[in-house]
Amino acid sequence: MKHLTTSLAALLLSSSAYAQYSQTAIKTLPYPQTKKVDTETTYFGTNVADPYRWLEDDQAADTKAWVQAENKVTQNFLSQIPYREAINKRLETLWNYEKYGAPFKEGKYTYFSKNTGLQSQSVLYRQIGNGAPEVFLDPNKFSKDGTTSLAGLNFSKDGSLAAYQISEGGSDWRKVIVLKTADKGIVGDTLKDVKFSGLAWKGNDGFYYSSYDKPKEGSQLAGLTQYHKLYYHKLGTPQSQDKLIFGGDKTPRRYIGAYLTEDERFLVITAANTTTGNELYVQDLSKPGSTIVPVVADEKNQNSIVENVGSKLYIHTNLNAPNFRLVTTDVTKPTSDNWKDLIAETKNVLDISTVGGKIFAHYLKDATSLIEQYDLNGKKERAIDLPSVGSAGGFGGKRDEKETYYTFTSYIYPPTIFKYDIATGKSTLYKKPNVQFDPTKYESKQVFYPSKDGTKVPMIITYKKGTVMNGKNPTLLYAYGGFGVSLTPAFSTSNILLLENGGIYAVPNLRGGGEYGETWHLAGTKLNKQNVFDDFIAAAEYLVQNKYTSKDYLAISGGSNGGLLIGAVMTQRPDLCKVAFPAVGVLDMLRYNKFTAGAGWAYDYGTAEDSKEMFEYLYKYSPYHALKPAAYPATMVTTADHDDRVVPAHSFKFASRLQEMQKGSAPVLIRIETKAGHGAGRSTAQVISEQTDKWAFMFYNMGVPYKGAQ
């Protein structure tokens, strides 16, 4: 049985405010004696031991007892960090400012979200014109502890009906409730067991939604969810009578989505078996009895219908265009051999939104936003003048609107809402957050560094102006690197605490992401996945070589697929950093596809069943399996008991094996949040609590005293 041995005496605290703690040792509990059960699986002739597989049963009494024991060790350790409470109070102060969401119009109302500061969940308000706002939905009243959240909201075209989804304890399984917006009276029964779904209204008659059959065996949170089904729910009828529209035995697909064009003429259906690429279908609802027609009949590329003018369809696609393009065709000849470029592919990745009868082209230029406005014939009207270099989101709405809203942010620019006049192109400040942060005191710069194979990778580094690059600055290196997800500059209230204490925040845009299109994404998938880890390791080495920090002051962090990244990097290079934060990570690469919708991630990862070569590749880097006796960095694994996307078993098994294999003196903890899921919908208190523990753990293990607000 291993014990935690790190003491505060080793930290050499220099701040006189904490001198009293300099000889105080943290009194720690021993790690739980995690049992090992002889379990093996044979892959292509190789027997793979899995002694902690019993932890996959999250409903078992011994698993629950293990969770309680581990949390006790973790909280015992964290509670003795002398400045933990000071960090918590500072974060509460930083968080305590009004936060607004961009307004949107439905019917006669303008809706917007607002959080007064420390409310568990943001409240949805509405108003008519410049009238007084009133509360429309208050998720803080959904549950006593603030852990039930608003997880989706869709209005009928005339705005008279609204269907909203709620998530309980962070689960991806949702309930759907329908309201009359006039008096907020509930219509019909609550729909249950809805998952990974939008809600697409067809007039005021009903709406389309998607879900899976609930798992019949094992935990409903961890059980395999194989095939999505698209249903139509007619208001006033029981859910049991909902009509199956697409999916099921005839067209089994793992992910199915649906939406209607704004004129409600076309039902658009997307279908896929993995998280990248999709089939595209359309049904002309103006013609009774019309069939569902394929537009794209394979999943090799990503495709969506973003607009229509009569029978003319506007399709956003990366077919024959890795950086995406916008094409048009007529619904009578929808297939790709009839497509015509409206906005051709460029060297920058293209996304599309529409509002006011205009097309807004959202380009990613080295992971930052560049926005251009076009008419429906593809004529460029202007480039949008953004406040700075950063990320802009919005520019969406209905065809008859004269103005729209967008939110701009960067690592040093708190998210600010602007009103945009579509006719003139003029932006006007709408809402600026009153957060305790002075952007003029900080700088954020982009660098390009070489990865192991010479590939140039961009990274944005943020810190206080005047910071001396002496290798002693506490630094958090955060990344993702997967599923075509692009990490663009975004402000973090939590990161203020690091920056104001002389810290550095660095974000590299690794291969596997979407910052440079599908080519960049594919360069970090399957048998190329090591590129992602190499890119991240090279980012850390760049920071050290250029004296931003050093190994003793470097922490690495990532969540979900980013949790896999951290797990892989710390097993390959345990000497790389001082602290590691693998959050809600995919950490068992041989069994990830056995739980929930994990099989859909095979496009990025491959599976151990694919081939001997794929198995051996996964087995080599799988964090759970790659652990060997070594001196690992101080590690705090984080997960949640209601995470039904990346099941907590990944973190349970990894933490158990890491505690077993740790030969150094650094602590190995696992922090297991209760009544929480993969991340979305957590209460403000839960977020602040986790961030408190993260910074306290990081500063303590680096020997960096927390100095308070600077």
- The residue whose two tokens read 């973790």 is 74
Q: What does the block give as tokens for 12?
A: 């050499």
Confirm if 442 and 462 have CB atoms less than 8 A apart: yes
Report the pLDDT value the prediction gives residue 14, as an integer from 0 to 100: 30
> What average pLDDT does the structure give for the chain?
92
- List the Cα angle 30/31/35 in 5-degree steps: 130
Confidence of residue 707 (pLDDT cuts 50, 70, 90): confident
- Of 210-224, 422-436, 489-503, the range with the lowest mean pLDDT is 210-224
pLDDT tens digits, residue range 113-150? 999 999 988 999 999 999 999 999 999 998 888 778 89
Mean pLDDT computed over 613-629? 98
Question: Mind listing the pLDDT tens digit for each residue in 223-262?
Answer: 566 789 999 999 999 999 999 999 988 889 989 999 999 9
Q: Which of 353, 625, 678, 683 is catalytic?
A: 678
Residue 630 has pLDDT above 60, yes or no: yes
pLDDT top residue among 598 and 272: 272
Any catalytic annotation for residue 156? no
* Over residues 555-576, mean pLDDT: 97
Q: Token digits for 258?
A: 């649906």
Percent pLDDT > 90 in the chain is 83
**Residue scoring higher pLDDT (593 or 218):** 593
- What is the pLDDT confidence band of residue 214, given thresholds at 50, 70 and 90? confident
- Determine the pLDDT at residue 642: 57
pLDDT band at 17 (very low <50, low <70, confident <90, very high): very low
Instruction: Tell me what percent of the residues of the chain surpass a pLDDT of 70.
Output: 93
How many other CB atoms are there within 10 angstroms of residue 41's CB atom? Answer: 13
The pTM of the full predicted model, rounded to 2 decimals, is 0.91
Distance CA 698, CA 685 (A): 20
Going by pLDDT thresholds of 50, 70 and 90, the confidence category of residue 198 is very high
Q: Is the pLDDT of residue 212 over 90?
A: no
Average pLDDT over residues 191-217: 89
**Rounded average pLDDT over 178-203:** 93
For residue 348, pLDDT over 70 is answered with yes
In this predicted model, what pLDDT tens digit does every residue of 632-652 receive, in sequence order?
999 999 997 655 566 889 999
pLDDT band at 25 (very low <50, low <70, confident <90, very high): low
Which pLDDT score is estimated for 15?
32
Q: What is the pLDDT of residues 151-187, one digit of tens each?
A: 899 999 999 999 999 988 777 888 999 999 999 999 9
| Dist CA 591 CA 569 (whole Å) | 19
The per-residue DSSP string of 423-439 comes to TT--EEEEE----S--G
Per residue in 459-494, pLDDT (tens digit) is: 999 999 999 999 999 999 999 999 999 999 999 999
- Rounded alpha-carbon distances, angstroms, from residue 547 to 12, 508, 538, 543, 553: 21, 17, 14, 6, 11
Provide the 3-class DSSP secondary structure of residue 55: helix
What are the φ and ψ backbone dihedral angles of 672, each rounded to 5 degrees? Answer: -110, 105
The model's pLDDT over 381-422, given as tens digits with 9 standing for 90+, comes to: 999 999 999 999 999 999 999 999 999 999 999 999 999 999
Q: Which pLDDT tens digit goes with each residue over 494-515?
A: 999 999 999 999 999 999 999 9
pLDDT of 673: 80
pLDDT score at 414: 97
**H helix count then E strand count, the chain:** 11, 39
- From the list 444, 560, 656, 683, the catalytic residue is 560
pLDDT class for 681, splitting at 50, 70, 90? low
pLDDT per residue as tens digits for the range 300-312: 999 999 999 999 9
DSSP state for residue 662 in the 8-state scheme: B
- Tokens standing for 510? 């690794």
CA-to-CA distance for 25 and 80, rounded, in angstroms?
A: 9
Is-contact 202 264, C-beta < 8 A? yes
pLDDT of amino acid 18: 32
Q: What is the mean pLDDT of residues 293-304?
A: 96
- What does the pLDDT read at residue 677? 52
Closest CA to 579 of 547, 544, 554: 554
Q: Given this model, what pLDDT does residue 2 score?
A: 42
How many other C-beta atoms are found inside a 10 Å radius of the C-beta of residue 148? 24
- 13 — pLDDT class (breaks 50, 70, 90): very low
The pLDDT value recorded for residue 680 is 56
3-state secondary structure of 481: coil
Higher pLDDT, 226 or 437: 437
pLDDT of residue 16 exceeding 50 = no
Query: Do residues 343 and 363 touch, judged by C-beta distance below 8 A?
Result: no
CB 658 within 8 A of CB 603: no
Nearest residue to 136 via CA among 165, 169, 113, 159: 113
Residue 110: phi and psi, rounded to 5, are -105, 125
Which class for 397: exposed (0-12), middle (13-18), buried (19 or more C-beta within 10 A)?
buried
Distance of CA 531 to the CA centre of its chain: 21
d(CA 674, CA 523): 37
Q: What is the pLDDT of residue 257?
A: 95
Over residues 355-364, the pLDDT tens digits come to: 999 999 999 9
Residue 124 to residues 103, 146, 173, 432, 677, Cα–Cα distance (Å)? 10, 15, 22, 18, 22
Supply 480's token pair: 């993702």
560 is catalytic: yes
Rounded mean pLDDT of 79-93? 96
